[in-house]
Amino acid sequence: MDLADEVAAIDWYHSIDLPGGITTPGVNRSAFALRNLQLPQSLSGRTVLDIGAWDGFYSFEAAARGADRVLATDSFVWDGRWGRRGFDLARRALGLEDRVEARSIDVMDLSEDAVGTFDVVLFLGVLYHLPDPVGAIRAVASVTKGTLLLETETSLGWLPYPAARLWPGRELSEDDTNWWSINPAGLIGLLRQVGFSEVRVVYRTRLWRRVARALKARRWSAVRGARVVVHASR
Of 43-57, 137-151, 172-186, 202-216, the range with the lowest mean pLDDT is 202-216
pLDDT at residue 209 greater than cutoff 70: no
Contact call for residues 24 and 16 (beta carbons, < 8 A): yes
CATH number of the domain where residue 152 is located: 3.40.50.150
214 sits in which H/E element: helix 207-217
Average pLDDT over residues 138-153: 98
pLDDT band of 218, cuts 50, 70, 90? low
Distance CA 229, CA 152 (A): 7
Task: Give pLDDT, residue 211.
Answer: 54
Instruction: Please give the full DSSP string across 165-187, using - where no structure is assigned.
Output: EE--TTTTTT-TT--EEE-HHHH
Collapsed DSSP state (helix, strand, coil) of residue 231: strand
Q: What is the pLDDT of residue 42?
A: 98
Q: Read off the pLDDT band of 193 (50, 70, 90).
A: very high
Number of domains composing the chain: 1
**Residues of the domain holding 107:** 3-233
Query: Which alpha helices (H) appear in 15-132, and where do they start and end?
Result: 30-37, 57-64, 85-93, 112-115
Q: What is the pTM of this model?
A: 0.93
